[in-house]
Structure 1
Amino acid sequence: MRRDEFLKSIAALAAAGALPLSARAAANLKMMIPANPGGGWDTTGRALGKALQEAKVADSVTFDNKGGAAGALGLAQFVNGSKGDPNALMVMGAVMLGGIITGKPPVSLSQATPVARLTSEYNVFVLPANSPFKTMADVVAQLKKDPGSVKWGGGSRGSTEHIAAAMIATKVGVDPSKINYVAFRGGGEATAAILGGNVTVGGSGYSEFSEYINAGKMKAIAVTSPQRLKGVNVPTLKEQGIDVELGNWRGVYGAPGITAAQRAALTEAVLKSLNTKSWKESLEKNDWTPAVLSGPAFDKFVDDEFAQLRAVMVKAGMV
């Protein structure tokens, strides 16, 4: 093959997304973050964007925050606005699945393209620093006395902290449909409400509240992990006699309608970024547990999670 013919062939393959990542120029990636700034998805998306550039699989990464409805608003914008775009990514996770189950949005996650699960994180429940309550036992006692008087603050309806609150109510003998859950569109709003004493108890990933816990502005009273988190002296719900354990995983999806080769290239780029120094620093800084999964295994995982979350939510009276 003549050199000019070879170069034309390479260009055609690159345009089709059929070349291995190492043979193509780094892309200008677009990252949809379906939440307001300040929360777990925002932190994850921006950390991943930095890692993609450090791994030299992206020349640049631009971010678009679109919060609301447990990620459904961002999902709709992503599905409708990114069709066939091999350089588009969207952060998602367990919260989005819960929101889709409760909210029944007009678009489906199955319209987008699975890329990879990245991390898992357990939730922490906190009290405002000036709360009259001191422990989860105090909160439970008030919950049993008057369920509506306990305002639970967290992410959108169907989030893992919402599901955990309903599970706690069920386990302590309170009708979960009577819990007073206040949903916020992003971690920043939820944090402000807790710091301002506008909710009784707040829930989120530990990384979102850690600086306020360490500064004494929030009091951590329970984590949803099976054992205490490493280096974190906060009791689990289980050791307090409440048999609830729930993880909050996060991942990324690609745009609808991309080819199998484009999906493979995007997956390769994401997986390569997870080996960078900056990503490993983000894992440590945010107390994220690596939970990498891609390909058909990730597809099956999401399907199974949908079924399991729906079962829990129906039993808890949330659907």
Structure 2
Amino acid sequence: MRRRRFLACLLATSGIAAVPLAAGCGTQRVAGRMPGLRARFSINPAARRWSHVGQALVGAARAAGYETGAGTKVTVSGLAAMAAAELNQGQTLLDAATPLARLAGDVEVVVVPDNSRFKDFDDFAAHLVARPGETLLAGGPQGDPDHLLFGLIAKGIGADTRQVDYTGYPSSREAVAALLSGQAAAAAGALADWRESLGAGRVRALAVSCAHRVPEVDAPTLLESGVRVDFADWTAAFGPGGMPDDAREAAVRMCEEVTSSTGWLAACRAAGWVSIPLSGDDFVLWLAAEAGRTRAVLGDLGLVDSVRATTCGGSCGNGH
């Protein structure tokens, strides 16, 4: 099956968030396989929340030998945009844009106050199963990755997902304040947003969302805790809709080269991201599966009409 027909089949069955494609700082380099031809890319974040990733991608591209300039637009977007499109029944990225490559992700952490009655994740899970409506949870805005993670956890441990009592806050600072003031029993968020409180001993980590333990965090993974969830608040690169094959292939090659570079890996380490590169048709397949999982958990939480169910789905790289 030709690639365009293959993508068309996926477009008919998948839902992913759309974002505007805007011009801005870009990159160019002589294409390695086509001497004399220059591929130029303009890399931009779809929204403010992805600006740091966009800047890191541009910086790593320059360090890898690309020059700034106009050219094919590449937009950095992520999981939050996918969820927003599902919530708002908006046009999806698979409809409006061309998936190029997955880039990086934020590891999420489940935390409780240091003096919490929950001694470990098992205590927390038991309470959530027995009294989901009385286990007050906090994190980012409703439907954002933090909320999705709690939905996946509730589903994974057999709690009544629609009874989950979750309050979303506009910023991580407000979620921290809610947890420490007793307005929530547990919270979820990007590990980077909780490092200060963890380091100060004000909160304890019950579990991390990734497949492998984080060295500086004294907490098991969700998989170790019996929850079949491997999760990251991921970001990815997209081209404009209707992107010609040769332009797409050049953009995919650029993403592959940059995300394997020492500059990119150093930027990820400095920001606390995990580098999770996946490109081309493999990324398209993963993205379709991730869209299904996102739609399913939003349905489980009662936020959208969806009956499709998954467990690890698209984000799990371990075959669960």
**1:121, distance to aligned residue in structure 2 (A):** 5.0
1:34 maps to which residue? 47
Alignment of 1:42-191 (within 5 A): 42-59=51-68, 86-105=71-90, 107-110=91-94, 111-129=96-114, 133-140=118-125, 142-144=127-129, 146-185=131-170, 187=172, 190=175
Provide Cα deviations, 1:79-128, integer angstroms capped at 9, x if missing partner.
Answer: xxxxxx944332233343333333322x2212111111123554211124
How many positions carry a matched residue from both structures?
273
Distance 1:305 1:149 in 2: 30
Distance 1:35 1:147, change over 3 A: farther
**Structure 2 alignment gaps of length 5 or more:** 1-27, 305-320
Q: Which residue of 1 aligns with 2:294?
A: 309
Deviation at 1:312, TM superposition (A): 4.5
Distance in 1 between the 2:290 and 2:240 partners? 21
Contact 2:161-2:300 at 8 Å conserved across structures: no
The structure-2 alpha-carbon separation of the partners of 1:98 and 1:196, relative to structure 1 and needing over 3 Å to count, comes to same
* TM, length-normalised to structure 1: 0.69
Aligned with 1:59: secondary structure? coil
Taking the aligned partners of 1:300 and 1:164, their CA distance within structure 2 comes to 21
Q: Within 1, Cα distance between the matches of 2:276 and 2:139?
A: 23
Comparing 292-301 with 207-216, greater Cα deviation is found at: 207-216
Deviation at 1:177, TM superposition (A): 0.9
Distance 1:291-1:143 versus aligned 2 partners, 3 A rule: closer
- Is 1:20 the counterpart of 2:4? The answer is no
For 1:275 and 1:282, how far apart are their aligned partners in 2? Answer: 12
Q: Which moved more, 1:112-121 or 1:178-187?
A: 178-187
The question of whether the paired residues in 1 share the 8 Å contact of 2:156 and 2:229 is answered with no
Given that 1:26 and 1:57 are in contact with CA atoms closer than 8 Å, whether structure 2 keeps it comes out as no
Identity, % of aligned positions: 26
Which 10-residue stretch deviates more, 128-137 or 215-224?
A: 128-137
C-alpha separation in 1, matches of 2:171 and 2:74: 19
* In structure 2, C-alpha distance between the alignment counterparts of 1:46 and 1:217, rounded to whole Å: 32
- The Cα offsets for residues 15-66 of structure 1, whole Å up to 9 and x where unpaired, read as xx9x737856685734124354xxxx44433322321222232427xxxxxx
| Letter of the 2:280 counterpart | G
Residue 254 of structure 2: SS of its match in structure 1? Answer: helix
Q: Distance in 1 between matches of 2:123 and 2:215?
A: 25
**Alignment pair present for 1:243 and 2:256:** no
- Residue identity in the other structure for 1:108: T
Amino acid of the residue matched to residue 109 of structure 1? Answer: L
Q: Which residue of 2 aligns with 1:67?
A: none
Query: Structure 1 residues 24 and 134 mapped into 2: Cα distance closer, same or farther (>3 Å)?
Result: farther
**TM-superposed deviation, 1:179:** 1.2
Query: What TM-score do you get using the length of structure 2 for normalisation?
Result: 0.68
Which AA in structure 1 matches 2:54? G
Instruction: For CA contacts below 8 A with separation 6 or more, give which structure has more relative contact order.
Output: 1
- Superposition pairs of residues 265-276 of structure 1, within 5 angstroms: 265-276=250-261
2:68 match: secondary structure: strand
**Where in structure 2 are the equivalents of 1:283-302 lying within 5 Å?**
283-302=268-287
Cα 1:292/1:238, change in 2 over 3 Å = closer
| Cα separation, 2, equivalents of 1:31 and 1:222 | 33
Checking the alignment, whether the CA contact within 8 Å between 2:208 and 2:220 is kept in structure 1 is yes
Contact 2:40 2:71 in 1 (8 A): no
**SS at the partner of 2:103?**
strand
Residue type of the alignment partner of 1:52: A
TM-superposed deviation, 1:200: 3.2
1:264 aligns with 2:231: no
Contact 1:86–1:254 (8 Å) recurs in 2: no
Q: Select the structure of larger CA radius of gyration.
A: 1
Unaligned runs of 5+ in 1: 1-16, 61-84
Measure the CA separation in 2 of the matches of 1:239 and 1:133: 17
Where 2:83 maps in the other structure, the secondary structure is helix
